Structure 1
């Protein structure tokens, strides 16, 4: 599978913008804006030098981690292919800074016909429908493979997003990237989400992940934007290590 991530590393600016819905389009070149009304997007209270420092930290840390973990990533990729032959990566369009859509990378941890399995599960199980409506997740997801459950619990499926960070789509720390269907769950706080880059980790990940409600997740994202700084990002990175090790709220 050939991946063209359309690397663009521009930092978000203070913006007063409209969104236009241009459809999903082919993901390699998709830089799409979502359909909604114009609004003034809040800008985190950091200076240009601090924004540059954060970007430098993103590129250096993601690059070093990618190189250091390359042998492990190769072994993990082989194991995932043995467990479930097919596409290695799951690529999904997510909402990035300023509402720009980008191809978010993950290791594929679900069966090849995941959409069919999900539709059947939601059709047959009322409890699953309610759980999916609340969080867009299922605690006992029938789509996930045997090895995939372990990989997801340890957040190893998200390691390909180091490439997203290097390309400038994401940051090491920020809100988790959402899909189009989740925009309405953010309501008026969607502007806060769009004011920063999505992150590989963030307040949500170190505060219980799926053990918190979706509204609490939104409020954690707003809190992050309002208090964004380089030192705050470093503190979240340090808290991420034990959070991932304990796999709290991860499934």
Structure 2
């Protein structure tokens, strides 16, 4: 069932709560792929009701980012949700989410200062604000996020903890193509040649993991080898960052340990791609 208004979604959520039904929630920006489907399946397994939101959130996009060209296909997304047995799709307009006079924002400090946050000013403020709103509207018991956006996952978990929000935020594993490319709606932007170069991210990450397993614990040596691999591909235009960080604080490590996260952000052509791997 398609729900377009905050009022209707809140009313449905209240009714389910009264009936003692658990609500699982998968927030998305649409153009759904197997990664999103894996989140829906986790929610279906854990909860009585599953809600998927589709909302391209304007306040998490910066100047000169891809808000206007971000891929959209509601009909296709609705069919995927129907096929997966999703109970409700919440599809609000921008005006519905941010009515005239809107002026309240939620910001998580410190965790948002590094990795993607260092390059995308205001991005995480936009993410935490919209997710807070969506949690208030849908009232989920559990919410599901992909680990490909690892920093986003940790930021949202921190927000929920700090604000005593009554929702469990669950991270689900990265879903990859057979050749290793992490699934992303932005992969649609890639030409054939660019897609080939996009494989540099996963190849570098898997090589880094191998280096650690063979005993390398110096982050500089691992990062240097990763950079060599990534920049050897012709369509790679910029390596924005390669970092090995603590899985909770996201601070860079001086010595690599099991459990650490290796995260990368790279421009392939004009498309910014991110990926990560846990040691």
Q: TM-score, normalised by structure 2?
A: 0.25
Is the radius of gyration larger for structure 1 or structure 2? Answer: 2
Higher strand share: 2
Higher helix share: 1
Q: TM-score, normalised by structure 1?
A: 0.27
